[in-house]
Amino acid sequence: MLTLAKDSLKTDAVTITYNRQIARNYECDRKIEAKRLDDLVKLIFEHTAGEGRILDLGCGTGVFTTLLDGRLPMAVTGADNSEEMLAIARSKPEGRGIDWHKEDAVKLSYENESFDVVFMSNLLHHFNNPLDVIQQCARVLKPGGLLLNHFGALEDIIKDPDHKFFEKASELDVRRTPARIQMEYLLKSAGLTGIGSDKNTYKLCNSAAERVKMVESKYISVFHLMDQMSFQRGLSRLRRYAEANQFDPWLREITVTTTFGIKPC
């Protein structure tokens, strides 16, 4: 994930740098259900020939990058602004055939019309103006190319365990995370067409105890933005609920939206 910049929608100016410790936690807690990958690959083949080049922008440690590389007959590039994240990505045996680049998402170094597909996962809420990033994605897409933004839409994340027990997390993400309809508008504003969204619920972990462990490691960026007192208060609430409701499927699930658009020919 790219370095988190000051959010213009917040009064607080907070900067997160993904150092080695955060990068390790990020890697350990990002497990992708097979169906989630299947749905992404299906979307790509529905809207493209599945050939040419794909860019995973904000690739982090390469969780999605390596999975997509294993499923697509495309040349895969992973780009991120964190050297610590990229170091982990480059160290993976399954990532040896992938081109890894350090890039600023609002100033991509790639030439116009370089990629057939651009993929992003939970990236845009880290930027003051996400349209700047989307416009860069549109610039480097070939005519007829596909942009995919895979993210937790505001209307879904505020109901998940990572926010229900953490008022501060909800307060922060309400001001930095777009809803589905807002994301579709951003893609339209960047000149993309054929815009749509695909929403699905997937298994995130195997048990309530595992969800608690993920939260303890601060597996999502908003937990790093919170003050420690607010985080610990929410964590205590989550622990109590998980102990009393260990078989609640809500604790094991994640709802994700993939908003997509096509660059006109």
Name the phi and psi angles at 68, rounded to 5: -65, -40
The verdict on residue 132 lying in a domain is yes
Express as a percent the part of the chain with pLDDT over 70: 89
Please report whether residue 139 resides in a domain: yes
- Indicate whether 229 belongs to any domain: yes
Question: Does a structural domain hold residue 25?
Answer: yes
What single DSSP character describes residue 176? T
Q: Which two three-digit tokens encode residue 201?
A: 């619920």
Q: How far apart are the first and last CA of the chain?
A: 31
Judged on CB neighbours under 10 Å (0-12, 13-18, 19+), 233 is middle
In a domain, 141, yes or no: yes
Q: What is the pLDDT of residue 29?
A: 53
pLDDT of 25 reads 61
- Residue 43, domain CATH: 3.40.50.150
Q: What is the pLDDT of residue 24?
A: 59
pLDDT of residue 10: 36
Instruction: Judge whether residue 112 has pLDDT over 90.
Output: yes
Residue 214 counted as domain residue: yes
Split into its structural domains, the chain has a count of 1
Residue 207 lies in a domain: yes
For 9, other C-beta atoms within 10 Å of its C-beta total 12
CA distance 184 to 259: 7
Q: State yes or no: pLDDT of 185 exceeds 50.
A: yes
Q: Domain range spanning residue 159? A: 20-262
Q: Looking at the domain assignment, is residue 227 inside a domain?
A: yes
| This model's pTM is above 0.85 | yes
